[in-house]
């Protein structure tokens, strides 16, 4: 919203307040200033019209003249040294007297002082246009051809200057969407008096219109609780006077004709939108306010046609719509050059309805903007009277003594109890007792004493949403100034609460993976469902009901999509990296169709570090992914050694190179790791193997009680180790063979006073000496006793027994 | 005798330090002190000597022995050290670069979140998390934002279809699921679960229906701070903000509260801060976030008595802080994940 300083001065005298002070005060009142623009001459004190009485050559400088200049009708002329040459004796020019502060092009000020120029006294400065900040002309003095009176302040000569503030308001400040509203705030801030226009027209209100222009006004929707229609006959439509035209143009409105300009002017003055109908266009002399019929059409003033649904509100005559209520007038009823009789509408429309209509049909007008922010119901009456006064004054015509008023004000004044201890308790610092009622009164509220340190505060209708003591505290701080809040010590207490486990978990995982050389990423939660389908054929993503764009129309089901994209980007850039990871939320449907929001830790490894290879290192492989995945599980509190991993057939993963375990519903987590499908990688334009892993879990899994570890005693005596190699089928799982050894061990060690403490695989061999289609798996069996060093023969005895047991099913390969 | 002993000793002194292998040492040792060794042979002669010469010869032999034995031990140690040192390989050019990947990095947004959480942890604030998927009640109604409030417009918030069923995000009534438009939702869930007093920080993602450009992103991160206790006042909020900004942007940082409006706080303010350590932005008021005293209606909505408890809340944009702190000019850098960007934020 644009506000003109000159216009504001009609309601509050700001002549002794600088533009800078206003521009600083507004934001601190909660009225954000987007822009400040000054047109014409800024207010400059001590610059007056002077007449050059004489010019002598400067004794010590060829280019300087010494002039006697009369700057006041009743003061002696003063001597000024001047370097310009475009003037003649007798010219009148702007003269900056000692103390004048001239604007400089860089935004600063240049103060004029009595001085000496090459030995000759100079008591001021005659100015060019640029020196006054009036444009860029610096070719010589600004000759005032119209010869204004000597001594006239220069601002009176260039009086059409103005400053326009562009103000952005929060949703609660409908009261400030007008010049009177802003003036009220500034008056409160600077301790000045607010002057509202004197209203001459004092109508009698009746629900039945008089004067013959209208026969009836009917309100058929709860969205219009109050409607006022004044009738004016015999107006003469014509151009607006200069002041009106100027005021409107200053805030960016176009002058149309006197009556339309007046409705706009009063809207910008009071914040109450008005609408003038040509009375002849109101068919059947009837105004009906109602909701639209589904499919009903209206052509608005901007000549656009709108097909409406029943949530839009219309102003209608006996035959149909004449305006989209509160938003825009209809093309069929606007004031025209030949209009003589007008019906002036002023109404209160429910904010929510106007906002919805304005949004739905994308019609944003000064009117809808104000109605949507709740106009003052009192101004519905006052603005109507003000507009009548101006129309009668500027366009002639006779106003009907009776104004039709239907309905009631939807809200009235609010009385709130407020006490000093309450205010101080909310603020946390002391204020003087009288500061509270003073601030309230400056805001235009009414204050009554109500016992010691207590008041009853009445909030007029222009402020909505102030109905509790805490709301008044907010108003008080606004007017008091938040700079009054003192610096105090930060008092701290520890409520003995811990960080949520999911946060701690993600922090540990990030530290772990970063320590392993991976870079953490952040990818968007929203993704393109078409792209997602290419990667996850069988996964149902949750689609948005109202996506902004089709490439962000659903929620990610995995963090890997984003990470693969990151790998692709960095490979394309030729950057050096080892891999990437991310922690975040994903959303996926389980078989039941229910969506789960799951926490995820995911990583990709696509080692792109060729440049570091001055010495050979093993490339990452499946087991790099397995290590990271199982370590993350361990951070989560899941013992991966107890999990049974199996292959899955999913298009994302390379068949046979992927391991999966867990189930969201039953176990709370699911894990996948391995090699990304080469087909997918090629489709994405990635030309090398990528290993990856993702652990999805319900966030509360991170919070599972881990239990306290109980120490288990361990033997002080050495272990005896025996190695065994087992021949297994190429496709057989090492974990199954290990399980068989353990089973045989358990069986053969029954009754013995020592144990088989571990079976660990240390070699896998295929090739010479092993039959085709088989592999040799070498395990180390470690035996230990609690109380002694084992004897070789007792170990050999049981080891042989285990081998014998195994050899019933398997071929053993003795080393 | 003495000459013989000296000859043996001389031989030992020259041969043992030159022995290449443990075998060599063993051989020399055997040659001198083994059962058939030269020194052993001399010892065997002692009984044949004169009574006066016996002790002299014995002393000389023992002295020689005590000189040779440490030489042998040293030789073994030298050879074994050498063997182990061989396993180290050639002496490296210590200026060659690392072979393995350098330490990875923590994303600058994560770092900023950690930094702020760590700053407040000292003051007793702990992290609370909740879901990204939310419902209208938690995101708006509970936060005193009525149905016809502009912030609830479908143009600004991303909604799920009416038939969407979410198994692990609870609803309050019959309402739509949406992506939370601010992390203030965590306030509501935490207060409902834990009651008052409560002192939490909620870092996380928030979502707006915004077109992506240099300063807007379809998702962004916020840290919501909430403190509810007895007698929490406006001065406490100001003190918390000063503490935060001095810790984030240096001792010179100061804050200013500018009156504003949010449905869930009363009074509400925009926070501006100023610091002398911000390059081009130094010593100017910079709008950074919204804050206020928690509206009594919000407390009522979660069953906390506003007569007994009060509190403050503020919501900080993580991207905005990170951009100011690191002089990042485009929000999209955070989501492109170019390693040339990520690697600049090593450490921590």
- Among residues A84, A79, A96, which one has the least CA distance to residue A137? A84
Per-residue pLDDT, A205: 95
d(Cα A238, Cα A240) in Å, to the nearest integer?
7
Q: What pLDDT band is residue B347 in, cutting at 50, 70 and 90? A: low
φ, ψ for residue A807, nearest 5 deg? -70, -10
Q: What is the pLDDT of residues B227-249, one digit of tens each?
A: 999 999 999 999 999 999 999 99
CB contact under 8 A, A352 and B148: yes
Tell me the β-bridge partners of A724: A779
The residue from B87, B119, B145 where one domain ends is B87
User: Which residue from B minimizes the CA distance to A355?
Assistant: B150
Q: What percent of chain B has pLDDT over 90?
A: 62
| Cβ within 8 Å of residue B225, ≥6 positions away | B120, B125, B200, B201, B202, B240, B312, B313, B314, B315, B316
ipTM above 0.85, yes or no: yes
Q: Does B176 touch chain A (CB under 8 A)?
A: yes
Residues B112 and B62 grouped into a single domain: no
Nearest CA in chain B to A697: B168
- What's the domain count of chain B? 2
Residues B116, B83 share a domain:
no
pLDDT at A707 over 50: yes
Q: Has residue B93 been placed in a domain? A: no
Best probe of the B interface among A521, A564, A585, A620, by most B CBs < 10 A, is: A521
Q: Of all residues in chain A, what percent carry a pLDDT higher than 90?
A: 71
Tell me, yes or no, whether B94 lies in a domain: no
DSSP state of A6: H
Q: Which of A777, A675, A765, A769 is nearest to A736 (CA)?
A: A777
In angstroms, the separation between the Cα of residue A680 and the nearest Cα of chain B is 21
User: Model confidence over A477-527: pLDDT tens digits?
Assistant: 999 999 999 999 998 888 789 999 999 999 999 999 999 999 999 999 999
Together in a domain, B252 and B216 = yes
Beta strands A216-219 and A286-291, pairing class: parallel
Nearest-neighbour CA in chain A from B258: distance (Å): 5
Burial label, A423 (beta-carbon count in 10 A; 0-12, 13-18, 19+) = buried
Structural domain includes residue B136: yes
Residue A612 has pLDDT above 70, yes or no: no
Contact B128 A500 (CB under 8 A): yes
In sequence order, which residues have a C-beta less than 8 Å from that of residue A755 and are 6 or more positions away?
A749, A783, A784, A785
| Pairing state between β B265-274 and B286-294 | antiparallel
Rg of chain A's alpha carbons, rounded to an integer? 43
- The two tokens of residue A215 are 């026969």
* A positions 754-793 inside 8 Å of B (CB): none
* Residue in A closest to B228 by C-alpha: A495
| Packing angle, helices B108-121 and A501-515, rounded to 10 | 130
pLDDT surpassing 50 at residue B188: yes
Same domain, B205 and B335: yes
- Could you tell me if A474 and B268 are in contact, meaning their C-beta atoms sit under 8 angstroms apart? yes
Q: What is the 3-state secondary structure (H, E, C) of A104-133?
A: CCCCCEEECCCEEECCEEECEEECCCHHHC
B270 vs B132: CA distance, rounded Å? 25
CB-CB contact of A43 with A155 (8 Å): yes
Whole-angstrom distance, CA of residue A646 vs CA of residue A659: 5
For residues B61 and B133, membership in a common domain is answered with no
Residues B260, B268: contact at Cβ < 8 Å?
Answer: yes
Q: Does pLDDT of A610 surpass 70?
A: no
> What does the alpha-carbon distance between residue A493 and residue B194 come to, in Å, rounded to a whole number?
17
DSSP A401-412: SEEEEEE--S--
Residue in B162, B218, B267 nearest the CB of A552 = B218
Which of A524, A593, A614 is opposite residue B99, by nearest beta carbon? Answer: A614
pLDDT digits (tens, 9 = 90+) for A373-415: 999 999 999 999 999 999 999 999 999 999 999 999 999 999 9
Q: Tell me if chain A has a CB within 8 Å of the CB of B107.
A: yes
Q: Note whether residue B8 is domain-resident.
A: yes
Q: Which ranges in A593-621 belong to alpha helices (H)?
A: none
Report the C-alpha gap between B228 and B232 in whole angstroms: 7
Contact residues for A628 (Cβ-Cβ < 8 A; gap 6+): A513, A516, A603, A605, A673, A693
Q: Residues B138, B70: one domain? A: no
- The answer to whether residues B313 and B294 touch, using CB atoms and an 8 Å cutoff, is yes
Please report whether residue B98 resides in a domain: no
Mean pLDDT of B265-278: 92
Residues of A in contact with B132 (CB under 8 A): 525, 585, 597
Whether the CB-CB separation of A812 and A801 falls below 8 Å is answered with: no
Helical residues (DSSP H) of A223-296, grouped into ranges: 242-250, 258-270
Q: Is residue B97 part of a domain?
A: no
Give the pLDDT confidence of A534-574 residue by residue, as tens digits.
888 777 889 999 999 988 999 999 999 999 999 999 999 98
Within 8 A of B231 by CB-CB distance, chain A residues are: 425
Closest by CA to A140, choosing from A96, A58, A63, A85, is A85
Classify residue B318 as exposed, middle or buried by CB count within 10 Å of its CB (0-12, 13-18, 19+).
buried
Count the helices and strands in chain B (H runs, E runs).
Answer: 12, 9
Per residue in A449-459, pLDDT (tens digit) is 998 999 999 99
CB A643 within 8 A of CB A662: yes
Domain that holds residue B242: 108-345
Same-domain pairing of B81 and B159: no
Query: Is the pLDDT reported for residue A460 higher than 90?
Result: yes
The tens digit of pLDDT for each residue in B192-206 reads 999 999 999 999 999
CB of B100 within 8 Å of a chain A CB? The answer is yes
Measured CA to CA, the distance from residue B227 to residue A296 in angstroms comes to 52
CB A562 within 8 A of CB A583: no
Task: Kindly list the residues from chain A whose CB atom is less than 8 angstroms away from the CB atom of residue B151.
Answer: 171
Q: Which residues pair with A298 in a beta bridge?
A: A306
Does residue B99 belong to any structural domain of this protein? Answer: no
Rounded to whole angstroms, how far apart are CA atoms A161 and A19?
12
B193 within some domain: yes
Same domain, B329 and B183: yes
pTM for the model: 0.85
DSSP-derived pairing of the beta strands A518-520 and A579-589: parallel
pLDDT in tens, A63-121: 899 999 999 988 899 999 998 889 999 999 999 999 898 887 776 788 899 988 888 99
The alpha carbon of residue A656 is apart from the nearest alpha carbon of chain B, in Å, by 28
The percentage of residues in chain A with a pLDDT greater than 70, rounded to a whole number, is 99
Question: What is the C-alpha separation between A391 and B41, in angstroms, rounded?
Answer: 143
Alpha-carbon gap: B158 to the closest alpha carbon of chain A (Å): 6
Look at residue A814 in the predicted model and tell me its pLDDT: 66
B120 has pLDDT over 90 = yes
* B80 and B127 assigned to the same domain: no
Read off the pLDDT of residues B304-327 as tens digits, 9 standing for 90 and up.
Answer: 999 999 999 999 999 999 999 999
* Burial of A24: CB neighbours in 10 Å, binned 0-12, 13-18, 19+: exposed
* Contact assessment for residue B33 and residue B65, using Cβ atoms and an 8 Å cutoff: yes
CA-based nearest residue to A697, from A665, A720, A724 = A665
Average pLDDT of A675-695? 94
Put simply, the chain A residues between 88 and 147 with a CB less than 8 A from any chain B CB are none
CB–CB contact B234 A28 (8 Å)? no
Tell me whether residues A525 and B149 touch, CB distance under 8 A.
no
In this structure, the answer to whether residues B67 and B155 fall within a common structural domain is no
pLDDT, position B348: 40
Neighbours of A751 (CB within 10 A): 5
Residue A815 scores a pLDDT above 60: no
Same domain, B208 and B282: yes
Domains by residue range for chain A, with CATH: 2-40+162-190 (3.30.56.10), 47-157 (2.40.50.140), 204-407 (3.50.40.10), 414-484 (3.30.56.10), 501-703 (3.30.930.10), 720-813 (3.30.70.380)
CB contact under 8 A, A488 and B239: yes
Over 80: is that where the pLDDT of B154 sits? Answer: no
Return d(Cα A56, Cα A70) in angstroms, integer.
Answer: 15
B92 touching chain A per CB within 8 A: no
* CATH of residue B219: 3.30.930.10
- Do B114 and B159 fall into the same domain? yes
């Amino acid at each position: 919203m644009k506000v003109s300083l000159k216009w504001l001065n009609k309601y509050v005298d700001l002549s002794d307040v600088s533009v800078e002070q206003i521009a600083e005060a507004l934001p601190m009142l909660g009225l954000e200033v987007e822009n400040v623009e000054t047109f014409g001459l800024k207010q400059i004190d001590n610059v007056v019209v002077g007449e050059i009485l004489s010019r002598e050559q400067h004794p010590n400088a060829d280019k300087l003249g010494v002039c006697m200049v009369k700057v006041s009708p009743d003061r002696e002329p003063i001597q000024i040294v001047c370097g310009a040459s475009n003037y003649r004796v007798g010219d009148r020019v702007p003269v900056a007297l000692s103390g004048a502060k001239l604007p400089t092009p860089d935004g600063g000020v240049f103060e004029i002082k009595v001085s000496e120029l090459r030995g000759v006294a100079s008591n001021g400065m005659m100015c060019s246009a640029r020196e006054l900040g009036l444009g860029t002309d610096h070719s010589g003095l600004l000759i005032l051809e119209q010869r204004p009176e000597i001594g006239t302040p220069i601002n009176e000569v260039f009086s059409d200057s103005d400053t326009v503030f562009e103000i952005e308001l929060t949703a609660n400040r409908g009261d400030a969407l007008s010049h009177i509203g802003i003036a009220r705030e500034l008056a409160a801030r600077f301790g000045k008096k607010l002057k509202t226009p004197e209203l001459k027209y004092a109508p009698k209100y009746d629900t039945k219109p008089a004067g013959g222009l209208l026969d009836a006004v009917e309100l058929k929707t709860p969205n219009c609780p109050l409607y006022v229609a004044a009738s004016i006959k015999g107006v003469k439509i014509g151009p607006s006077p200069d002041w009106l035209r100027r005021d409107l143009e200053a805030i960016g409105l176009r002058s149309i004709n006197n009556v339309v300009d007046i409705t706009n002017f009063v809207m910008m003055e009071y914040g109450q939108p008005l609408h003038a109908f040509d009375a002849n266009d109101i068919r059947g002399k009837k105004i009906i306010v109602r909701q639209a019929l589904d499919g009903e059409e209206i052509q608005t003033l901007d000549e656009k046609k709108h097909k409406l649904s029943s949530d839009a509100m219309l102003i209608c005559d006996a035959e149909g719509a004449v305006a989209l209520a509160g938003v825009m007038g209809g093309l069929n009823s606007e004031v025209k050059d030949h209009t003589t009789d007008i019906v002036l509408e002023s109404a209160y429309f429910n904010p929510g309805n106007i906002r919805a209509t304005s949004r739905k049909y994308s019609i944003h007008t000064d009117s809808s903007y104000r109605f949507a922010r709740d106009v003052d119901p009192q101004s519905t009456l006052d603005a109507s009277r003000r507009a009548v006064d101006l129309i009668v004054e500027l366009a002639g015509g006779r106003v009907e003594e009776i104004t039709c008023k239907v309905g009631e004000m939807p809200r009235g004044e609010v009385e709130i109890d407020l006490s000093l201890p309450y205010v101080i308790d909310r603020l946390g610092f002391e204020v003087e007792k009288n500061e509270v009622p003073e601030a309230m009164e400056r805001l235009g509220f009414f204050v009554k004493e109500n016992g010691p340190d207590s008041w009853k505060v009445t909030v007029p209708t222009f402020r909505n949403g102030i109905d509790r003591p805490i709301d008044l505290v907010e108003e008080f701080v606004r007017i008091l100034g938040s700079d009054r809040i003192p610096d105090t010590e930060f008092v701290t207490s520890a409520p003995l609460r811990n960080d949520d486990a999911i946060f701690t978990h993600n922090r540990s995982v990030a530290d772990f993976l970063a320590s392993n050389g991976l870079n953490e990423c952040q990818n968007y939660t929203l993704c393109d469902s078409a792209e997602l389908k290419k990667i996850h054929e069988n996964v149902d993503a949750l689609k948005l009901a109202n996506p902004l764009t089709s490439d962000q129309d659903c929620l990610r089901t995995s963090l890997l999509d984003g990470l693969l994209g990151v790998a692709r980007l960095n490979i394309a850039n030729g950057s050096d990296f080892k891999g990437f990871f991310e922690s975040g939320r994903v959303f996926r449907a389980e078989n039941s169709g229910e969506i789960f929001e799951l926490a995820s830790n995911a990583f990709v490894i696509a080692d792109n570090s060729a440049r570091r290879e001055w010495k050979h290192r093993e490339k990452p492989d499946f087991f790099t992914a397995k290590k990271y995945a199982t370590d993350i599980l361990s951070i989560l509190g899941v013992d991966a050694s107890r999990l049974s991993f199996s292959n899955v057939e999913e298009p994302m993963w390379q068949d046979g190179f992927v391991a999966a375990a867990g189930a969201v519903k039953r176990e709370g987590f699911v894990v996948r790791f391995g090699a990304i499908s080469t087909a997918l990688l090629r489709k994405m334009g990635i030309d090398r193997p990528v290993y990856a892993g993702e652990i999805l879990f319900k966030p509360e899994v991170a919070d599972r009680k881990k239990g306290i570890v109980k120490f288990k005693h361990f033997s002080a005596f050495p272990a005896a180790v025996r190695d065994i190699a087992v021949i297994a089928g190429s496709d057989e799982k090492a974990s199954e063979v290990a399980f068989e050894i353990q089973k045989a061990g358990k069986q053969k060690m029954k009754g013995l006073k020592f144990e088989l403490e571990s079976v660990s695989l240390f070699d896998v061999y295929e090739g010479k000496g092993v039959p085709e289609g088989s592999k040799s798996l070498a395990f180390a069996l470690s035996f230990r006793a609690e109380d002694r060093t084992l004897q070789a023969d007792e170990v050999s005895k049981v080891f042989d027994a285990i081998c014998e047991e195994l050899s019933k099913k398997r071929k053993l390969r003795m080393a | 005798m003495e000459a013989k002993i000296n000859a043996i000793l001389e031989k030992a002194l020259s041969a043992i330090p030159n022995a290449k292998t443990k075998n060599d040492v063993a051989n020399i040792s055997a040659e001198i002190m083994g059962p058939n060794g030269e020194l052993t042979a001399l010892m065997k002669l002692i009984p044949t000597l004169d009574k006066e010469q016996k002790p002299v010869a014995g002393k000389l032999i023992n002295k020689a022995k005590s000189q040779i034995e440490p030489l042998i031990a040293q030789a073994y140690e030298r050879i074994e050290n050498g063997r182990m040192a061989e396993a180290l390989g050639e002496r490296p050019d210590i200026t060659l670069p690392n072979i393995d990947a350098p330490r990875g990095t923590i994303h600058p947004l994560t770092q900023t979140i950690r930094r702020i959480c760590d700053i407040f942890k000292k003051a007793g604030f702990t992290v609370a998390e909740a879901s990204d998927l939310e419902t209208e009640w938690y995101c708006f109604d509970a936060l005193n934002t009525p149905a016809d409030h502009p912030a609830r417009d479908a143009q600004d918030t991303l909604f799920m279809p009416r038939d969407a069923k979410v198994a692990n995000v609870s609803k309050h009534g019959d309402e739509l699921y949406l992506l939370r438009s601010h992390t203030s939702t965590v306030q509501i869930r935490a207060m409902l679960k834990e009651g008052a007093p409560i002192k939490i920080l909620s870092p996380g993602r928030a979502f707006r229906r915004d077109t992506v450009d240099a300063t807007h992103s379809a998702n962004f991160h916020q840290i919501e701070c909430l403190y509810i206790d007895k007698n929490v006042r406006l001065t406490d909020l100001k003190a918390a903000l000063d503490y935060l900004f001095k810790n984030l942007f240096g001792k010179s940082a100061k804050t200013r509260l500018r009156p504003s409006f949010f449905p869930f706080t009363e009074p509400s303010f925009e926070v501006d801060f100023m610091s002398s350590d911000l390059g081009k932005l130094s010593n100017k008021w910079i709008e950074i976030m919204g804050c206020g005293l928690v509206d009594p209606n919000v407390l009522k909505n979660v069953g906390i008595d506003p007569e007994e408890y009060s509190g403050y809340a503020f919501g900080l944009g993580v991207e905005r802080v990170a951009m100011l702190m690191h002089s990042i000019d485009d929000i999209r850098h955070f989501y492109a994940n170019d390693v040339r960007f990520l690697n600049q934020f090593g450490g921590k």
